[in-house]
Amino acid sequence: MSRPGIIPLLMLIIYLSINCLTYIGDKTYVSGEDINPSVSYIQKNIQEYEKLYVHLDRKVQVQFKIGYSTTKIGNVETDNIIFGEKEYEWNIELLSNIENKKVYLIIPNWISSLEDLRTYGTLTEVINVHNTPLYYFELDESKDREY
Classify residue 146: in a domain, yes or no: no
pLDDT of residue 77: 93
Question: Whole-prediction pTM value?
Answer: 0.75
Read off the pLDDT of residues 39-75 as tens digits, 9 standing for 90 and up: 999 999 999 999 999 988 889 989 999 999 999 999 9
**DSSP letters for 46-96:** --TT-EEEE-GGGHHHHHHHH-TT----SS-SS--EEE---SSSHHHHHHH
pLDDT of residue 69: 92
Residue 122 belongs to domain spanning: 32-139
pLDDT of residue 139: 86
- We report the CATH number of the domain holding residue 116 as 3.40.190
Read off the pLDDT of residues 93-137 as tens digits, 9 standing for 90 and up: 677 666 668 999 998 877 767 877 888 888 899 998 878 889 999
Classify residue 6: in a domain, yes or no: no
Classify residue 3: in a domain, yes or no: no
pLDDT of residue 72: 94
pLDDT of residue 57: 86
Contact 132, 33 (CB under 8 A): yes
Classify residue 51: in a domain, yes or no: yes
What is the total count of domains within the chain?
1
Classify residue 26: in a domain, yes or no: no
What are the helix and strand counts (H, E) for the chain?
A: 5, 7
